[in-house]
Amino acid sequence: DAGVIQSPRHEVTEMGQEVTLRCKPISGHDYLFWYRQTMMRGLELLIYFNNNVPIDDSGMPEDRFSAKMPNASFSTLKIQPSEPRDSAVYFCASSRTGGAKNIQYFGAGTRLSVL
Amino acid sequence: KNEVEQSPQNLTAQEGEFITINCSYSVGISALHWLQQHPGGGIVSLFMLSSGKKKHGRLIATINIQEKHSSLHITASHPRDSAVYICAVREDGGSQGNLIFGKGTKLSVKP
């Protein structure tokens, strides 16, 4: 199994630009999570999906952030327009109901820098 | 408010030392996770606990539900154990998504 795949690994953009982060969960997993990690706040849950349906997006900081999961094998996190304070590492994780005690498997992350 | 507190924030040890990282939480939980974040950034799940103790190689995790406290121990530490160790709890009644994370403990093991 290839694990959770995120792209790109690094993204550098200018303030005001649209940024799209991508995630491919592990095949067969029915939960997908988007996290943000910063030095100040540590890891924070932004949104999670179950069977492609958003369940809890209360962690999404502003309307500038949106996430979609059009099918079981793909999700995007979009920031439009981006701001310097959005600079962080964004992780995607997936898990399977009843599997391995609900352990979440993390992708390698996307390091976003907004200049 | 910090519902999950880890201590210490930073820890430096000599190779071979026994290491303990602590996690205290203030909410009722159904499970507690220990994660390891490598210097390159990748995150790996080490343990999920709901009671008692688990052991995997040189790593031991314990939890005391009554005291709302968990510890992660590393025996015979090695420089490759250098990483950030993160404690996360799932609240009682929470679904898979409701993980609350500690800020992490940065461990450096010197040769």
Interface test mutation site (partner A, options B37, B43, B46, B98, max chain A beta carbons within 10 A): B43
Q: Is the pLDDT of residue B93 over 80?
A: no
User: What amino acid occupies position B39?
Assistant: P
Distance (Å) from the C-alpha of residue B108 to the closest C-alpha of chain A? 18
Q: Is the pLDDT of residue B60 over 90?
A: yes
Each residue's pLDDT tens digit, A68-105: 999 999 999 999 999 999 999 999 999 887 655 567 88
Q: Is the pLDDT of residue B25 over 60?
A: yes
Task: Give the mean pLDDT of chain B.
Answer: 91
CB A111 within 8 Å of CB B41: yes
Residue matched to tokens 């009722």? B28
Which chain A residues touch B95 with a CB distance below 8 Å? Answer: 50, 55-56
Average pLDDT score over residue span A58-62 = 86
φ, ψ of residue B40 to 5 degrees: the values are -75, -10
Tell me the C-alpha distance between A33 and A49, whole Å: 6
Which chain A residues touch B10 with a CB distance below 8 Å? Answer: none
CB-based contacts of B1, cutoff 8 Å, min separation 6 = B26
Hey, how many other C-beta atoms are within 10 angstroms of the C-beta on A35?
Answer: 26
Which one, of B63, B58, B37, B33, lies nearest residue B47 by Cα? B33
Q: Is the pLDDT of residue B97 over 80?
A: no
CB-based contacts of B91, cutoff 8 Å, min separation 6 = B27, B28, B29, B30, B98, B100
C-alpha dist (Å) from residue B63 to A2, B34, B47, B73, B78: 32, 11, 11, 11, 24
What are the helix (H) ranges across chain A?
Answer: none
Which one, of B81, B111, B87, B89, lies nearest residue B19 by Cα? B81
Q: Is the pLDDT of residue B67 over 70?
A: yes
Considering only A53-67, A91-105, B12-26, which range has the smallest mean pLDDT?
A: A91-105
